[in-house]
Structure 1
Amino acid sequence: MIDLPPEAWEALALSLRVSLVATLTALPPAIWVAHLLARGRFRGRGLLDAVVHLPLVLPPVVTGYALLLLFSRAGPIGSLLEPLGLGIAFRWTGAALAAGIMAFPLIVRAIRLAIEAVDPALEEAAATLGASRWRIWWTVTLPLAAPGLLAGATLGFAKAFGEFGATITFVASIPGETRTLPAAIYAFLQVPDGDAGLRGLVLIAVGVAVAAVLVSNWLAPRVAARIAGR
């Protein structure tokens, strides 16, 4: 058992919650956007692709600052949410939003590659049998792309779990509210006697990341085999 102070376990629990919410929230729009980019032929497709991947090339603090401008109490979105009690700046929900935005491009990319790998002839065959586009998506495209969807979700969870720059810029590092595991590691670095807690958190971070990859590698072939009927 790793000996950690209570605030370290609190940061771990918060990181897991933020990562899970971020991944589950980002997954549906990521599937939709990935399908648009993989199968769509429309004006502005290149621009959409560039916007989706923007968080990957921008410094994370820039993304965090943009979120702060939009969702702060004085921001155009935050000023509408605050009177309703739905403000997210400097709250754990804001951390989930920032982590989800940073993870979004990775989820989209993995799912897009999986959809592009699906033979269009299978979709065309379903269409000739009278299946609607929605039915083709649910019964042909999505099942065949399921391993890629799983990979995207795993990548997104890992990215959200390790997100630091955008999160700390947008929601700061408030103990018990927004101090995720990466922020807690940074906080331990700032104190002279933080080495013991720091090493424990680093081990936990590595363990969670390795576990996510192992689970994905274990599930992916089983999902593929189930789809193939083996």
Structure 2
Amino acid sequence: MTVTLIATNQLVSRAIDVGAEHPYVAHDTTGSDVAEFAGRACYQSWTRPNEATATNPGYLAHILEVAHGSVLEHGTATLYFTDLSRACTHEVVRHRHFSPSQLSQRFVNGEDSAMIVPPLVAEAGGEALKVFHEATDAARVAYTLLSDLLADHIITNHPEVTGTARRKATREAARSVLPNATDTAVVLTANYRAWRHFVHLRATEHADAEIRAVALDVLAIMQGVAPAVFADFELSEVNGVTVAHSPIGSV
């Protein structure tokens, strides 16, 4: 499984005319600074009158402390996830504030789809891994056979359906036999608050093992993108697995 940062939002300029005597001058132009700007807009505190919140990290630490999480929604990050299972993305896309664009099984041929081995199956190995491979190999064989049979059926009974339309029709039906382990890819855009919520729920010992690994990778990336927003999450070991917890929560 790989998670890649592909985009973030930012202020168009460090100096912004806010209709005050002097323009607002941001520390930088990152999404963290967008979040700070949004917070200061609520209270018109453009001149940073409070020394404790004069820096961006100080300001965002206060935002987390008082759970003013709405301003974190103005910072966004887009991540590209590859080599994860459909079972995992079925859980990922349940997060309401994510904007997903996922690999299409209607357009992409599934004959050579990789199968993502669940962590527990990989750990068990032996007979468990053998059963997994036998089942997923059989599913790929069934997919190929079904695709061929359905293509022949369309050629015979619906000759007007050709080219891409025929391929879509066969693949959308044949994909029904592919398992949850089938490899997929998805682009996700979300705001900082939504990413915090994702990590808060999915990087714990209670989460599915695959999505927990995803969430930990997301946390590592987001701590680089917006360190002040994600610095409160700490890693620990629980029952032999690495998890992340925050005393603040998802705000």
Structure (1/2) with the larger helix percentage = 1
For normalisation by structure 2, the TM-score amounts to: 0.25
For normalisation by structure 1, the TM-score amounts to: 0.27
Q: Which has the higher contact order (CA 8 A, sep 6+)?
A: 1
Structure (1/2) with the larger strand percentage = 2
